[in-house]
Structure 1
Amino acid sequence: MIRKTLIAAGALALLAGTSLVPAHAAERKETYKLMELFAEVFEKVRSDYVEPVNDEELIEAALNGMLTSLDPHSSYLNPKNSRDMDINTKGEFGGLGIEVTMEQGWVKVVSPIDDTPAFRAGMQPGDFITHLDGEPVQGLTLSEAVDRMRGPVNTDIKLTVRRVGAEPFDVKLTRAVIRIQTVRSHAEGNIGYIRITQFSQSTHGDLVKHMAELKKSIGKDIAGFVIDLRNNPGGLLDQAIAVSDDFLDKGEIVSTRSRKAEDTQRFNARAGDIADGLPLVVLINDGSASASEIVAGALQDHRRALLLGSRSFGKGSVQTLIQLPGHGSMRLTTARYYTPSGRSIQAVGIEPDIKVLQAKVEPIAVPERERRAEAHLRGALANPDAPNGKEDKKAAPQGKATPEPEPEDADGKPAPVVIKLGDPTQDYQMARALDLIRGLSLYRAPAN
């Protein structure tokens, strides 16, 4: 018992980063008892579990369990996963090209990354991956499932996918080196189209280059820009701030507020608008999360851009990557962020100024229960400004139109419907954004 108490007290001191002298003796005494319970369970597992167990794996699992119980975005990253995180933020990694999360024990697709094996195979946001090469993913952690999906370039993996309204089907993908080009652009007549797929270290610099190229290629008759943030899962906070600053001359971009009032941070725009004050339309949908919501919220609150599309995901929290020397790192939710008007979008998302559903010929109705949202994640943080902390899950569906019958593949199963984002002949939201820019441009044109 003495040994276990020492383990517990030592572990508490390590976690707290303080000495063993208690600031509040009674409170610390109770905490010591709980740490002793942990030590006792740990010893029982080591000695009595049906198979030998690895001490390091047990501790890692305990740390990850503690953090993931707080909210869906906090977690422990062992040294390997911590290195993978660094690779992802730099914008290059090996794999299939899908942003994923874990829901109900299955891997859920948040968004396929443009021009990757997963994107070309027709993987869609909201798809559930239930098996990897015939092995069920239930029982795996998210990091374990991701590790299995990654592998040597040019090797194959079979994913079993469940999609709403379709029978389970298999998708065979060939792994590739995923080099994320976070910014893409092209001209649509006299309108510049810019798609930002995520916020990595190069996003701000790439955006500036693409804007300059568009202005040069279109010339003095340029009418405005469409900024596409659909299915953008987020990324680095500093890049979201820099991108927002690119289009704002002054004012607050975002503020972050943690437990301590003195830790509040406010980020303000500097003079200079790389769009030269031309009309902006920002496209968002329920795959637009985190950093992309910071950009959308800032431009909306300052009335610098009109938002078009559907309600965003609603991830209004900030995660800090805390290094644990020799032991990887921990990703901890340390603050909520607020748009310039002071609103938290946590679990409620950002409503577009003009709601336009994606469509083929008719709007594709998405029942509210099927809409992706932060509020639907188990353990999601509450919104401090909402009456019940979260969005109204009984809200009316976003559309009433009946979709066309899905096309079928050779086996008689529904074939994936892949809309090429940014192509106005296929992308209904994009076509409406172009119409809006043209209208705004006519309104701004001086009278002769």
Structure 2
Amino acid sequence: MKIAALLRSAALVTAVALIPATTATMAQVDGRAGPEFSKVFAVYQRIQASYVEPVEDEVLIRGMIDGMLGALDPHSGYLDGSDLQRLETMIDGNYSGLGLSVLMEDGAVKVISPFKGSPADKQGIKAGDYITHLDGKLIYGGDLDDAVAQMRGKAGTSIQLTIFRPGREEPFEVDVTRGVIELEPVTHELSAGNIGVITVNEFSADVGADVFKAWTSIQEEAAGRVSGLVLDLRSNPGGSLDEAVALSDLFLDEGRIVSQRGRARGETLLYDAETVFRGDMAEGTPVIVLIDAGSASASEIVAGALQDHRRALVMGERSFGKGSVQSLLPLGRDAALKLTTARYYTPKGASVQEGGIKPDITVPQLSDPDLALRSKYQTRESDLRGHLINELGIKDEELEADEIDDPRFKLTSEQLEEQGIEDFQLHYALETLRRTTKSSVALRD
């Protein structure tokens, strides 16, 4: 597949903009960095002449590229070959495997999040887990692409994962049967009391329109008497900036949604309400947005916009804190550069970089038996090596978790299970809406 076609598709599912590198810019780089480039060439020549074994030029060039990008933030990278194929798979949203989003962290394969309803999710694999072995073979210190290739395979076949979960003394093994992963960006249901629940799992193409359809279906099922709405963005790693704007615009009838500011010309952009959808589709309906530490990027744009405009109550846990935009810059027909080119800001001018979105009401996921252990080792943007610093300045105490015991959140996972509560955060949001009137806190006009 041609790189241009892939990039056109990628612009729909990642917060990207296509920016060509100009010859004038390259000339400036050459003039300023000439002496430094001579050092690079000298190292290359020395390796070719003196290294103990012959080294292919391709290996050295790729190493130089990876080294340059490794000096930047963790979201910039070079894509070719299998990397571009993985991007295509993400765009298609249909493949055979385990249903895991992973990254390489200090030589270890770390789970960002399992896709909801995937084989990995059903087997209890959680965000923050480390995969150390596949079918008993050590993968620590290896290549992420190789690990991903091994985890993918024909539906119906199984693979054994050895998992290290921070907080547990011993690793454990899980057998997972591969399945066909068909990512469903938006799901919905009508809960007791005519409370609608719309879950957005990723921000792929047409998510805004899909949420509108989900709301229409909820209205029809409730015979037009919807008492409240939960917009569930938990463990949603983000995606298209345009779709984040579209989803926010469904609930807003005026004002700024998000602003984007970069160093290059054309990277400072403003996004306002009433540009994608007209009016507030759920006008008069109390809305709660659920977020957690896995809610990132596009999810944070939506949560921040609805929170700043006081259109929704944000509930759950502090979000991931990824406040940057990546652009795909084509490098020929079969490679591309994924480069961080801008930061984005909420309507009130706050940057979510590092700090994330702080919920109006913090609600722990008490139904998770590993809550205490997982919370202790939770990973957010501020924990990633080389992450961008919030230029507005965030005090350390603002990032610290609230250690004060809340009398509302005393039940254990075992006690909740006895009561039939499998998802405490969702349960708490629904109960809040059932007690909510139009003059109360969940509708804060």
Q: Deviations over 1:397-420 (max 9, x none)?
A: 47688995999xxxxxxxxx9x9x
1:274 Cα offset (Å): 2.1
Larger mean CA deviation between 358-367 and 426-435 belongs to 358-367
Deviating beyond 6 angstroms after TM superposition, the runs of 4 or more aligned structure 1 residues are 400-403
Question: In structure 1, which of residues 334, 342, 345 is the aligned counterpart of residue 341 of structure 2?
Answer: 334
- State the partner residue of 2:389: 382
> Is it true that 1:254 corresponds to 2:250 in the alignment?
no
1:61: which partner in 2? 63
* Higher mean displacement: 329-338 or 219-228: 219-228
**Alignment-derived partner of residue 23 in structure 2:** 18
- CA distance change for structure 1 residues 281 and 123 in 2, over 3 Å: closer, same or farther? same
Q: Is the 8 A contact 1:253 1:267 kept in 2?
A: yes
Find the counterpart in structure 2 of residue 437 from structure 1: 433
**Residue 352 in structure 1 maps to residue 355 in structure 2:** no
Deviation at 1:146, TM superposition (A): 2.4
Match of 2:234 among 230, 237, 252: 230
With normalisation by structure 1, the TM-score equals: 0.83
Cα distance, 1:193 vs structure 2: 0.7
2:160 corresponds to which residue? 158
CA distance in 1 between partners of 2:26 and 2:269 (Å) = 32
SS in structure 1 at match of 2:352 = coil
- What does residue range 269-418 of structure 1 map to in structure 2 within 5 Å? 269-270=273-274, 271-360=278-367, 364-365=371-372, 369-387=376-394, 396-397=402-403
Match of 1:140 in 2: 142
Between the aligned partners of 1:29 and 1:245, the Cα distance in structure 2 is: 45
Aligned residue type for 2:435: G
Contact 1:108–1:126 (8 Å) recurs in 2: yes
User: Matched residues in 1 for 2:79 and 2:123: separation?
Assistant: 30
Answer whether contact 1:367 1:398 (CA < 8 A) is retained. Answer: no
How far is 1:106 from its partner?
1.0
Does the CA contact (< 8 Å) of 2:363 and 2:425 recur in 1? yes
SS in 1 for 2:38: helix
Offset, 1:163: 0.5
Deviation by residue 1:66-103 (Cα, 9 ceiling, x = unmatched)? 11320110000013312321331342233211112222
> Which stretch of the first structure deviates more once superposed, 373-382 or 257-266?
257-266
Question: Structure 2 matches for 1:414-429, cutoff 5 A?
Answer: 425-429=421-425
- Residues 236, 294 of structure 2: 8 Å contact kept: yes
Does 2:72 align with 1:70? yes
Please tell me whether residue 180 in structure 1 is matched to residue 148 in structure 2: no
**From 113, 116, 134, the counterpart of 1:114:** 116
Q: 1:352 offset after TM fit, Å? A: 0.5
Determine the C-alpha separation between the residues in 2 that align with 1:398 and 1:332: 40
Aligned positions, number: 413
- Relative to structure 1, the CA distance from residue 66 to residue 146 in structure 2 (aligned partners, 3 Å threshold; closer, same or farther) is farther
Q: From the superposition, tell whether residues 287 and 399 of structure 1 become closer, same or farther in structure 2 (CA, over 3 Å).
A: farther
Decide whether aligned partners of structure 1 residues 374 and 246 sit closer, same or farther in structure 2, where only a CA change above 3 A counts.
same
Amino acid at match of 2:75: H
Distance, in Å, in 2 between the alignment partners of 1:83 and 1:426 is: 37
Q: Distance in 1 between matches of 2:300 and 2:155?
A: 33
Letter in 2 for 1:302: H
After TM superposition, give the deviation of residue 44 of structure 1 in Å: 3.5
Per-residue CA deviation, residues 117-157 of structure 1 (Å, 9 max, x unaligned), is 11111101111112223333333343343233223433332
Classify 1:16/1:425 alpha carbon distance in 2 versus 1 (closer, same or farther; 3 Å).
closer
Partner of 2:17 in structure 1? none
SS of the aligned residue for 1:430 comes to helix
Higher RCO (C-alpha 8 Å, min separation 6): 2
Per-residue CA deviations over 1:153-206 (Å, capped at 9, x if unaligned) read 333322211012321012222333211001111110211111111111142232
Name the counterpart of 1:3: none
Residue aligning to 2:44: 42
- 2 CA distance for matches of 1:238 and 1:323? 20
CA distance in 2, matches of 1:395, 1:220: 40
Unaligned runs of 5+ in 1: 1-14, 408-416
| Percent identity (aligned) | 43
Measured on the aligned residues, the alpha-carbon RMSD in Å equals 3.1
Q: Decide whether the 8 Å contact of 1:255 with 1:267 is kept in 2.
A: yes
Distance 2:164 2:36 in 1: 41
Structure 1 range deviating more: 102-111 or 67-76: 102-111
Aligned counterparts of 2:151 and 2:261: Cα–Cα separation in 1: 36
Contact 1:365 / 1:403 at 8 angstroms: preserved in 2?
no
The residue identity in structure 1 corresponding to 2:110 is K
User: How far does the alpha carbon of each residue in 1:236-286 deviate from its partner, in whole angstroms, 9 at most, with x for none?
Assistant: 111111111111111111100012576310001113222233111010111
CA distance in 2, matches of 1:20, 1:120: 50
Displacement of 1:301 in angstroms is 0.5
Q: Could you list the per-position Cα deviations for residues 201-249 of structure 1 after superposition, in whole angstroms to 9, with x for gaps in the alignment?
A: 1422321221111110111321011011111111111111111111111
TM-aligned CA deviation for residue 42 of structure 1: 2.6
